[in-house]
Structure 1
Amino acid sequence: MFIRNQINFPSTEDIQRRFIDFPINEIISYVDYLPEAQEGRCHIYTYPYFMPYYGGITNNFPGGLFKCVRVVALHDGHPLEHEFFLQIARSFPRVEELSVINRKSQNRKQSYESNTGNQNLSVIEYSFLGALDLLNVHDDYIEEFLINSKTCFPNNVTLYIHYKSLQRVTHNFTSDTTRINCGKIDELQLYAETKCSNSSLQEYFPSAKIKYRI
């Protein structure tokens, strides 16, 4: 449910009291407040969780194991760091469709880059991922998924992305850091103002069927 009046916004404790007759380990609840949107979001569900979809996930996500979930949507007005995506991959090991909405840059990106060899950076594996939506994100999250030292996914992924964002992150389709994961894309849904004639684009995505969304 969505609540726009912060004064009346319930706390996690308020919600838990409403389920006092339920065993405490059966009801999971937490509250998000998105100040820029003046919007609140309450998550209430039984655990174990048997639905195939879990949406509106933010940094407040408490974790857990969700074996039945196939579609995951992340949406936060605060930065999402690499450790958060590691938690998401572990919590949703069978995720097939993943979308991210976040326009805030990552806070700890620079510390990762300054760490020679990314020794403390765990590579995140999405073993069953088939669709990745990065249309409404800061460039940092495109790098989070396309740089192979951060993320590994299968060879049959459909990527939804804006052309200009992709062009920036790949340094006009020349960067070696994103080349391996881009080579695994088998369908590229490009959102652009006009269809772009760029021979290096197809070379950079050798396995991809490229479709333009004007």
Structure 2
Amino acid sequence: MLNLEEFHLNIIDECNGRFIDGDTLMKDIIRYMPRLYKFTFNICSTIKHCDQTNFALNQHIEKTFEYFHNSEIITCIDHFQENGYSQCHIYSYPYKWKVYNNITNNFRGGLFTGVTEVSLYDERPLEDEFFLRIAQSFPLMKELTIRNLKAQNNKQLAKSNNDNQMLSIIEYPNLTRLDLAYTHHDYVELFLFDRKMALPNHLHLRVDYQSLEKVTSNFTRYTRPNNCAKLAAIYFYPVDQIGEHIKKYFPHTCIRCSDDFVLRK
């Protein structure tokens, strides 16, 4: 390793008491590579709250990278009180990996033209403006997974303001697979029925059956425009059998079991 001139590091680690930061990388990696001139990394470290005496702040992590001069370093810390852990995501920018996981409301932004697979997670609601930021930052995204069980705060406000026409169209032109199986039904409604949401044709959607039943008013909602006709396949979770009323509502869409939904690389 002494002769390495380039090093690319991509890891996820559960730590005890302290996040991986610039000091960690300098002490455990860089000091052993004197010829290293290019170091790119994408590191997500987590700490259980029972292992913490105090919560790290983003500016504290940023300060540990003050001697990293060859590239821009992005740091982002999230504290998930309900699930009892904190997460620190640090990476060199421009970002060189194809996958960006667990993006939260604290997302720092930027342009990620090489990323094709994205997942979103937070214990706080994800509002429409957040999805617009994601669309702008990941223009070539093909696969999107959302994990969020909180209702949107601004949903009723948007309705009272004539569907919030002030917000720009949210476009995901390259999206092929969308996973909403573990989300609040507000996000299902956003992607299927909100006129601000522009989706491509031939989309594969995994969704919770009860959520889909609710937003479609038990498969009787025919308001236009909507994105239902753009679905190539729907994967339900959970459902034991598919009724004829569902097939009638999605006449040109393949209806499949949720277990068949696999993200394609």
> For the superposition of Structure 1 and Structure 2, which TM-score range results when normalised by the shorter chain?
over 0.9
Structure 2 residue 249 is matched with structure 1 residue 204: yes
Q: 1:8 to 1:116 in 2, by over 3 A?
A: closer
Does 2:72 correspond to 1:3?
Answer: no
Q: Which amino acid aligns with 2:257?
A: Y
Residue 126 of structure 1 aligns with which residue? Answer: 172
Question: Match for residue 103 of structure 2?
Answer: 57
Tell me if the contact between 1:76 and 1:102 (Cα under 8 Å) persists in the aligned partners: yes
Q: Deviations over 1:106-146 (max 9, x none)?
A: 11100111122532232211000000000111111111111
Q: What is the alpha-carbon distance in structure 2 between the residues aligned to residue 101 and residue 177 of structure 1?
A: 27
The structure whose Rg is larger is 2
Shift of residue 10 of structure 1? 2.2
* 2:233 is the counterpart of 1:168: no
Corresponding residue to 1:80 among 97, 112, 126 = 126
- Change in CA separation of 1:117 and 1:72 when aligned onto 2, cut-off 3 Å: closer
Q: CA deviation digits over 1:157-199, x for unaligned, max 9?
A: 11001212111111111223477311100011112241132x2
TM-score by length of 2: 0.76
Rounded to whole Å, the distance in 2 between the matches of 1:206 and 1:193 is 18
User: CA shift at 1:148, angstroms?
Assistant: 4.1
- What is the distance in 1 between the residues matched to 2:168 and 2:221? 21
For structure 2, list consecutive stretches of 5 or more residues without a partner in the other structure: 1-44, 260-265
Percent identity between matched residues is 44
TM-score, normalised relative to structure 1: 0.93
Amino acid at match of 1:123: I
| CA RMSD, 1 decimal | 1.8
Matched, 1:110 2:156: yes
Give 4+ residue runs of structure 1 displaced > 4 Å after superposition. Answer: none
- Determine helix, strand or coil for the equivalent of 1:146: helix
Structure 1 runs not aligned, ≥5 long: none
1:67 and 2:67 matched: no
C-alpha displacement of 1:53: 0.4
CA distance in 2, matches of 1:178, 1:58: 31
Size of the aligned set, in residue pairs, is 213
Name which of structure 1's ranges 73-82 and 146-155 shifts more when overlaid on structure 2.
146-155
C-alpha separation between the residues in 2 aligned to 1:147 and 1:122? 16
